[in-house]
Amino acid sequence: MMEILQYEFMQRAFIAGIMVAITCPLIGIFIVLKRLSMIGDTLSHASLAGIAAGMLWGFYPFWGALIFTLIGAVAIEKLRKTFSKYAEISNSIILSAGIGIAVVMIGLAKGFNTDLMGYMFGSIAAVSSKDIYIMGILSVIIILSVIVLHKKLFYIAFDEEGAQVSGVSVNFLNMYLTILTGLTVVVSMRIVGIFMVSSMLVVPVAAAIQTGQGFIKTTAISVIFALISVIFGLVLSYYFDIAPGGTIVLLSVGILVGVLFIKALRKRK
């Protein structure tokens, strides 16, 4: 295990992975409670369009992912108000637009960029020092936002109407939570991959919820589950030369299955 850390690319991968393991559950807990599990998948497709734009026009793909994801986050909230009776349709619209733009831009590039695979499925070798700095800044923003706003976010997650009556800025918080979700997608895409980000937002939280603890403990447990998945996923990815995103997600699902199995055994007793 320790021999892995002698390589700089693995050091960067573990640093990035730990940031992913902390930020995803912190945002995922609110997404799950608000029954918005698919929003991560939607924003990940918006980020893919940004990455494709960066590769097509020759600028840093991370910036493209960040810009397109933030635009997608704002658009989702605007569409949710427009289609108030069918709020979930906003996810389908942005997802379709994101993947459509990405496909067109990738086609215009007239060639296959191997780095695109790293963004889509995760890569332990592709994480650069520049990626780490940007991921670090975004992670700090996410963590501080959750620390400062967790009570209000918790309130709107369980009783949005009650929160509005109490004077909480529900519209602002919904918008901000969606933006934070977008930032989390951008933080996670280098390690987990665009197509796996949604799983890391939801699965560790789903496993933690099954433990039947309070909100704070559930959040902490979900972070622990995510850390276990990421650390062991990166180790397995290194030794077996497999995509880290899929490995991490499979381990996370394995933890969920294990928790459900233990819960079922306790019920029988």
Residue 202 confidence class, pLDDT cut points 50, 70, 90: very high
DSSP character at residue 1: -
CA atoms within 13 A on the CB side of 216: 2
Domain that holds residue 71: 8-259
**Residue 29: inside a domain, yes or no?**
yes
**Residue 14: inside a domain, yes or no?**
yes
- The span from the CA of 96 to the CA of 181, in Å, is 18
**Residue 146: inside a domain, yes or no?**
yes
**Tell me, what's the pLDDT at 110?**
64
Total domain count, the chain: 1
- The span from the CA of 102 to the CA of 66, in Å, is 14
Q: What percent of the chain has pLDDT over 90?
A: 55
Averaged pLDDT score across all residues of the chain: 89
Residues written for the chain: 269
| CATH number, domain with residue 188 | 1.10.3470.10
- The span from the CA of 187 to the CA of 22, in Å, is 11
In three-state secondary structure terms, 122 is coil
Tell which residue, 9, 13, 11, 31, has the closest CA to residue 21: 13
**Residue 264: inside a domain, yes or no?**
no
Amino acid at 194: I
Residue 162 confidence class, pLDDT cut points 50, 70, 90: confident
**Tell me, what's the pLDDT at 241?**
87
**Residue 213: inside a domain, yes or no?**
yes
